[in-house]
Amino acid sequence: MKKIALIYMGGTFGCIGEPLSPMPAENFIPQLQRVLPLHLHIECFIAPSIKDSSACTATDWLQLIQMIQGLQLKNYQHFVVIHGTDTLSYASATLARFLGQSAHVVLTGSQYPLLNVNGTNTREFTDAIDNLNFALDAVVTSSVGVYLAFHHQLIHAQTALKRHTTNLDAFVGLSAKENLITHQQSYVVHEHDLEKAQSFNCLSLMAQPIAIEQQIKNLKNLPQAPPHVVILQGFGTGNLAVNQEFIDTLHEIHIQGCAIILTTQVPFGTIDQRYAVSEWTQHAHIMISDCLGHADLYAKALKMYLQYDSIDQWHAHWHDSV
C-alpha cells in the first residue's frame, strides 16, 4: 500500500471559535486523524511553519519543500498538503517549480473549518472533509507532479488561480485531465536558500489607465531603493503606453540590479508578440513572462533569484527550463 504523508500547514481548515482562530497544531492533528479514511496508509506531519496563509512568504514554502524532500529520502513519494486558501495558488506554483515531477503532491484547503466552534467534533457544514478526501484519492491516482485539489476539481498547480473569496468552487486553472507540457527541474532546497529567500523583494505593478507622465513619475521612485524584481502587469497581451522617457526610466531601474518582467494583468492567456508590445521591449532591458499565471511568475522569479546572483544571468537563463 502506498504511504501518504499528510502535512498540515494551517489555514481555515484547522480553525475553531468565533471569530475563527487557529487551533494549536498539536491539538488539531489528533482531531484530523479521526476523520481520515481507514483504507489508506496515512501519516500526519506538522509543517515547519504554521500560520495564516496571508502571512506566508517564500521562506515558509521553501521550508515545506525542504521537509518534503527530506521525507522523500525516507521513501515517501505521495504528499497531501493542507494550506490556507489566501495564498494557496502561490504555494501550489512554488511547489510545482521546485519539486517538478519528482513526487506526487496535492495541495488542498477549505473555505470552512473542519471542526465546530469548540473544536470537539466535525462541523455540521464544511467542505474540509470533502476536499481532503478528494485530495487523498487524487494523490494516489494521478500522474507524478504537483496539483491543487478543491471542490472536486484537480488543477495543475502552476495554473491555479483563486477566483472567489467565499464560494466553495473557489479555484480555477488547467484541469489535470489536460496535458501540461512542463520540463521543471527539481531544486533541492538548502539552508542558504532559506536565508537568501528571507530578503527576496518582489514588487508587482498593475498598470492603470492613467497618463504616461504619471506612470513615469511612479516608476522614478524605484531607483532609490529598487527591489530584486519588478513585475509590470500590462493590459491585454501585455500592452503598455510607452515613450523614450518611460524606457529610460526602466533602464535606470535595471542598472540598479533589478530584474524587470513584463506580464499581463489578464488572468488567462499569455503575452502575444504579434502586438505592439514586442517592439519596445527589445530595447528596454526587460524580460517577457512565459509563465502560466501570476503565481507561477512569482515562483519562477523566486527560483531565478536563488539560482543566479546577477541580472545578466537572469537574462541569459530566463527561458531555460527552470
Q: What is the chain's mean pLDDT, rounded?
A: 93
Q: What is the pLDDT of residues 4-40, one digit of tens each?
A: 999 999 999 999 999 999 999 999 999 999 999 999 9
| Cβ-based neighbours of 201, under 8 Å, separated by 6 or more | 227, 228, 229
Q: Which residue has the higher pLDDT, 14 or 280?
A: 14
Tell me where in the chain the CATH 3.40.50.1170 domain(s) lie: 3-172
Among 3.40.1010.10, 3.40.50.40, 3.40.630.10, 3.40.50.2300, name the CATH number for the domain at 202-317: 3.40.50.40
The yes-or-no verdict on residue 187 having pLDDT over 60 is yes
Give the mean pLDDT of 101-127.
Answer: 96
Report which secondary-structure segment, H or E, holds 63.
helix 58-72
Its pTM stands at: 0.95
Residues 108/129, Cβ–Cβ less than 8 Å? no
The C-alpha torsion from 298 through 303 and 306 to 310, rounded to 10°, is -80
Model confidence at 117, pLDDT cuts 50, 70, 90, reads very high
Tell me where in the chain the CATH 3.40.50.40 domain(s) lie: 202-317
Q: What is the pLDDT of residues 131-179, one digit of tens each?
A: 999 999 999 999 999 999 999 999 999 999 999 999 999 999 999 999 8
**Which of the listed ranges 235-239, 284-288, 314-318 does the model predict with the highest average pLDDT?**
314-318
> Fold for domain 3-172?
Rossmann fold (3.40.50)
Model confidence at 277, pLDDT cuts 50, 70, 90, reads low
Q: Which residues of 189-204 are buried (b: 16+ CB within 10 A; e: fewer)?
A: beeebbebbeebebeb
Q: What is the pLDDT of residues 43-99, one digit of tens each?
A: 999 999 998 999 999 999 999 999 999 999 999 999 999 999 999 999 999 999 999
